[in-house]
Amino acid sequence: MKIFNTLTRAKEEFVPLEAGKVKMYVCGPTVYNLIHIGNARPMIFFDTVRRYFLYKGYEVNYVSNFTDVDDKIINRAKEEGVDSTLISTRYIAECKKDMEGMNIMPATTHPLATEEIDGMEAMIKTLIEKKHAYVVEDGTVYFDVSSFERYGRLSNKNIEELQSGFRELKVTGEDSKKAPADFVLWKPKKEGEPYWDSPWSKGRPGWHIECSVMSRKYLGEQIDIHGGGEDLIFPHHENEIAQSESSSSKSFANYWMHNAFLNIDNKKMSKSLGNFFTVREISEKYDLQVLRFFMLSAHYRSPLNFSADLMESSKNALERIITSVERLKEGLVKSSRKELNEIEAENLNRLEELKDKFEAFMEDDFNTADAVSAVFEIVKLANSTADENSSGKYLNKILNTINTLCEILGLITVRKQLSLDEKVKALINRRQEARKAKDFAKADEIRDRLLSMGIILEDTREGVKWKKA
């Protein structure tokens, strides 16, 4: 198995620290709002990586945190006039709902930053003792970047250039730093902010120290894989390396994996551009399995463009798989022959070749795009060779293979039975889209369809409401 390592900028053979085991840390979201589809890409991809390791027989210790103390959380709490804990607790719960909808397995551990403050204090103390960090007058603790000679290796940045760049972008209140590139490990509290006691000041940890500490506690000083979006390479992951390795004097992570950005209609996702979508918003139009399929349809290191057309294509493609599985199940019910014939035996050899093809793609830096194409080759084989006249053994083998490979990809092959509420909401959304497009005939058709289901629509100032006739 080969993995592209951001640290070395090359594909490398994966050799675990401990035979048969994988220790993996993936940076989780900052919980101040509903997660957006940009957050979804690393969640889905690294969940798939984990699933493949499990399929290959590895024991996987998978840790993904929730950052539950942060400026964004504090600001949201101030806006609502509530405690910041209420904000983080609310959005952790909402995030878990969305993760379940995307069929993302719960991590082995989902640590919370606020529950690991003691560990952060301990690591900061060690860094100060080893002369990698220093305390300034107001109680802020900074990491001394010049003390770590390998700083910039992950992001391929030169420390002298960094220092020069940071000088131009100096933030007010950071004049006490020894060098512009030095970063915060601990910062004193401001009025109305949550805080913890520490030897240096009443305050809270910097963002970067959180992941270093949580990774060490739940995975040990050295881990196999550290993952996240490419936006985290610098400064977050670069700073994690500096902290962790300066503290332990050991190599931190052997393989660094980063997924590329997600664009919306070929533009960077941005609230100001009005193209910012949450996973929850997508779930109102599509089953989140469609979103998962879409995310896996491109290589994780390639930029991925999100559009309505591509989501529709993903929906149709996923439908092909589900329909094929249903046909195989129907064939099994009706099949009377148990044993293989000669042609079926030959077809099963082809099936095995396609399964090997799927694995080869996954072994080559988790190429899910081509792995999905291998699944469709199996679907094509099933559709052209399997029916109620096939043997039960043949039908079972194809069915189990499709289900196994889809399970690796996290794709559910059982058709979801929508509740009445969900069906109505989906039809109302389609009607609203038709009205926006001035397709009033379509809108009326949907209204009539709902009426035939015993549902009456009411267009009000607050939006569309419905009731049973």
pLDDT of residue 469: 64
Distance CA 214, CA 205 (A): 13
- Tokens 């057309």 sit on residue: 309
Q: How confident is the model over 172-201, as pLDDT tens digits?
A: 456 689 999 999 999 999 998 999 999 999
Task: Give the burial string for 406-433 (b: 16+ CB within 10 Å, else e).
Answer: bebbbbbbeeeeeeeeeebbebbebbee
**CATH architecture entry for 2-259:** 3-Layer(aba) Sandwich (3.40)
Terminus-to-terminus CA distance in the chain, angstroms?
Answer: 59
Both tokens of residue 141? 């603790």
pLDDT of residue 172: 44
Distance CA 171, CA 234 (A): 18
pLDDT of residue 299: 98
Phi, psi of 117 (to 5 degrees): -60, -40
The answer to whether 2-259 and 307-409 have equal CATH topology is: no
Question: Exposed, middle or buried: residue 251 (CB in 10 Å: 0-12, 13-18, 19+)?
Answer: middle
> CB of 410 within 8 A of CB of 51?
yes
- Helix (H), strand (E) counts: the chain: 15, 15
**Which 8-state DSSP code applies to residue 19?**
T
pLDDT of residue 174: 62
DSSP 230-261: GGGIIIIIHHHHHHHHHHHSS--EEEEEEEPP
pLDDT of residue 415: 87
**Domain 307-409 fold:** Four Helix Bundle (Hemerythrin (Met), subunit A) (1.20.120)
Nearest alpha-carbon partner for 27 in 269, 250, 251, 223: 223
Per-residue 3-state assignment (H helix, E strand, C coil) for 317-361: HHHHHHHHHHHHHHHHHHCCCCCCCHHHHHHHHHHHHHHHHHHHH
The one-letter amino acid at 384: S
The one-letter amino acid at 123: M
pLDDT of residue 275: 76
pLDDT in tens, the chain (469 residues): 999 999 999 999 999 999 999 999 999 999 999 999 999 999 999 999 999 999 999 999 999 999 999 999 999 999 999 999 999 999 999 999 999 999 999 999 999 999 999 999 999 999 999 999 999 999 999 999 999 999 999 999 987 777 665 555 444 456 689 999 999 999 999 998 999 999 999 999 999 999 999 999 999 999 999 999 999 999 999 999 999 999 999 999 999 999 999 999 888 877 667 777 899 999 988 999 999 999 999 999 999 999 999 999 999 999 999 999 999 999 999 999 989 999 999 999 999 999 999 999 999 999 999 999 999 999 999 999 999 999 999 999 999 999 999 999 999 999 876 566 777 888 888 888 888 888 888 888 888 888 888 888 888 877 787 877 6
pLDDT of residue 419: 65
> CB of 443 within 8 A of CB of 459?
no
pTM greater than 0.95: no
Domain residue spans in the chain?
2-259, 307-409, 420-468
pLDDT of residue 158: 85
- Tokens 């397709």 sit on residue: 439
